[in-house]
Homo-oligomer: A and B are copies of this chain.
Amino acid sequence: MSDITAALAANAREVDATLDRLLPLHNDTDTRLLEAIRYSTLSGGKRIRPFLVLSGANLFGVSREFALRAAAAVEMVHCYSLIHDDLPAMDNDTLRRGMPTNHIKFDEATAILAGDGLLTRAFEVLADPATHSDPRVRANLVVELARASGVDGMVGGQMLDLLAEHRTLSMAEVTRMQRMKTGALIAFSCDAGAILGKGGDSARHSLRAYAHDLGLAFQIVDDLLDVEGDTETVGKMTGKDSNAGKATFVSLLGVERARAQSAMLARQAVEHLAIFDAAADPLRALANYIVARRI
């Protein structure tokens, strides 16, 4: 196992333990709803966004407890978006991380409410005094996460993605759609560490530039896996976008140029980290891992 794979796995264990603690089964509400939330949040996953939060936070000496709570909140938002995106009215997916999607395992109403509950809990966790001693930091985290995941970010990007089923997007439009749909939350993940650690403008700027290139590289590889991967390995339905005739980085660039573009973006992402010392090595390793991954 390479260093980065081991680091991802170690971080994922800590993040999973934090999520388990923050999303307890309890008797104050219906168990089915909590089970649905835990089903989609504690079902594995590489926890790449939490890894970004934790690695970013390390650059600024943030306490592990604060960073883990912020990392868990980002993952809650990511998981809520997967639950809602998989719904029949949206992407109508039945398989996620090798398991039935939430509305298949439970039902549509439960899946909608589980997503709503997760999103709400993410903001509650960020604003809670346990996430940072300075309330200004907590309020700032809420504002930035909301911007990244709202109509000008993830939610707006998913809307553009749905509309793309009816017309073919240009390269510029696909880039914008992906920047909103997946890039904005990845950028927030990197930013969260700097917000928690009160990083300076130049550090925040470098991290955001890194996140921007990393996010695009990540999405291009996702598109490549949709074409080249098989369902069993990737753990979700593949060939969906290409079969639906949707414009992706791969359909627009071709496989070879798409792979070259993702590698170029990963190198560029690493270059943005030049102002940081060896403490940023996990972020550098992640960029290389992202483009080499096969799942």
Contacts and interface: CB of A to CB of B under 8 A. Distances in A.
Contacts of A241: none
A109 B162 contact: yes
Interface in A121-160: 121, 123-124, 126-129, 134-136, 138-140, 142-143, 146-147, 149-152, 155-156, 158-160
A89 B116 contact: no
B112 A90 contact: yes
Interface string A72-112: 00000000000010010110000000000000000111101
Interface residues of A, number: 51
A120 interface: yes
Q: Assembly of this chain: how many copies?
A: 2
A116 B115 CA distance: 9
A32 interface: yes
Interface in A23-38: 28-30, 32-34, 37
The A contact surface, by secondary structure, is helix
18 contacts: A30-B159, A32-B159, A33-B151, A33-B156, A34-B151, A90-B109, A90-B112, A110-B159, A110-B162, A113-B158, A117-B150, A120-B151, A120-B155, A121-B151, A123-B146, A124-B150, A127-B146, A134-B135
Given A124-B143, A124-B146, A127-B146, 17 more contacts: A29-B156, A30-B159, A30-B160, A84-B112, A89-B108, A109-B159, A110-B159, A113-B162, A116-B155, A117-B155, A117-B156, A119-B119, A121-B150, A123-B146, A127-B127, A128-B143, A139-B139
